[in-house]
């Protein structure tokens, strides 16, 4: 398994500002992902965080709005840029480690609850 | 990605078995059936997955129809802690390892 810690757990931000969310895994992992969960909705994949290279974004999500870094095998950040109230959501990080690779078993953090005023 | 259909909500009583259905009529031969659940205020957690044969683990059992167009997640003896949203997801094990979440089934457990 893998234990995933996200910081901050929640934040309230003003529109037009940016917030960087950190995701730390307790062991080296092969793949990391970022999801968004809007109020009362299911999870939507934002992007795959690639170690040492640019993230792979899903349709509807762009790097300028959601820049992602993954400098090593245990850490990633997601920035929500130029925020608007529509960005109010829970943002979740997940990871696939070597033991679960090929089984599509992902481990999730508890999420960051973001409110934009 | 192939689509799954689940009831929006289900209710059961504590210490009774729960059968959560999932329809996936457009499943392809290489799609695995995964189940995740999301407890209140937490991220999703893996429950079980399978391809063709029924599967058991410490959390649950997965019963897969012979034609693979439907499956059922079985919680043998529900506890209050099992109250969650349960997601049935089809995924291919090679390549991107992406999960596409549907709306899931919100399970309520009555004491």
Express each pLDDT in B33-90 by its tens digit: 999 999 999 999 999 999 999 999 999 999 999 999 999 999 999 999 999 999 999 9
Q: Is the pLDDT of residue B91 over 90?
A: no
Express each pLDDT in B7-22 by its tens digit: 999 999 999 999 999 9
| Number of inter-chain CB pairs under 8 A, A vs B | 58
pLDDT at A90: 98
Residue of B97, B103, B104 to mutate, interface with A, max A Cβ within 10 Å:
B97
Please give the Cα distance from B70 to A32 (Å, whole number): 30
Task: Please check whether residue A107 is in contact with residue A1, taking contact to mean a CB–CB distance below 8 angstroms.
Answer: yes
Q: Which of A35, A44, A108 is nearest residue B45 as measured by Cβ atoms?
A: A108
Residues in Cβ contact with B95 at an 8 Å cutoff, skipping those fewer than 6 apart:
none
Q: Is the pLDDT of residue B26 over 80?
A: yes
Q: Is the pLDDT of residue B92 over 70?
A: yes
pLDDT at A101: 61
Residue of B47, B95, B99, B104 to mutate, interface with A, max A Cβ within 10 Å:
B99
The Cα diameter of chain B in Å comes to: 43
Q: Measured between beta carbons, which residues in chain B are less than 8 angstroms from residue A111?
A: 42-43
A2 versus B67: the higher-pLDDT residue is B67
pLDDT at A97: 75
Task: Please check whether residue A60 is in contact with residue A47, taking contact to mean a CB–CB distance below 8 angstroms.
Answer: no
Q: Which of B44, B94, B104 is nearest residue A108 as measured by Cβ atoms?
A: B44
The stretches of B1-111 forming alpha helices (DSSP H) are: none
Work out whether strand B45-50 and strand B9-13 pair parallel, antiparallel, or are unpaired: unpaired
Express each pLDDT in A49-108 by its tens digit: 988 889 999 999 999 999 999 999 999 999 999 999 999 999 999 998 766 666 778 899
Q: Is the pLDDT of residue B93 over 90?
A: no
For residues B83-104, give the mean pLDDT: 86
Per cent of chain A over pLDDT 90 is 80
Helix (H, G, I), strand (E, B) or coil at A91: strand
Please give the Cα distance from B41 to B29 (Å, whole number): 35
A-chain residue closest to B35, CA distance: A105
Q: Is the pLDDT of residue B6 over 90?
A: yes
């Amino acid at each position: 398994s893998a234990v995933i810690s996200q910081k901050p757990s929640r934040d309230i931000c003003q529109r037009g500002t940016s917030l960087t969310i950190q995701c730390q895994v307790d062991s080296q992992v092969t793949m990391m992902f970022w999801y968004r969960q809007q109020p009362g909705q299911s999870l939507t994949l934002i992007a795959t965080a690639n170690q040492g290279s640019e993230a792979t974004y899903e349709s509807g999500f762009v790097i300028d709005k959601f820049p992602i870094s993954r400098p090593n095998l245990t850490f990633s950040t997601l920035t929500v840029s130029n925020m608007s109230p529509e960005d109010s959501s829970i943002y979740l990080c997940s990871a696939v480690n070597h033991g679960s690779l090929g089984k599509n078993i992902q481990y999730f953090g508890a999420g960051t609850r973001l409110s934009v005023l | 990605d192939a689509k799954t259909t689940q009831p929006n909500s289900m209710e059961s009583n504590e210490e009774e078995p729960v059968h959560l259905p999932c329809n996936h009529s457009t499943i392809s031969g290489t799609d695995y059936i995964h189940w995740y659940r999301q407890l209140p205020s937490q991220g999703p957690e893996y429950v079980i997955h399978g391809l063709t044969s029924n599967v058991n683990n410490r959390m649950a059992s997965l019963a897969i129809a012979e034609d693979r167009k439907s499956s059922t997640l079985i919680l043998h003896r529900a506890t209050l802690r099992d109250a969650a949203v349960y997601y049935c997801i089809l995924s291919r094990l090679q390549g991107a390892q992406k999960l596409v979440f549907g709306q899931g089934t919100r399970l309520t457990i009555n004491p």
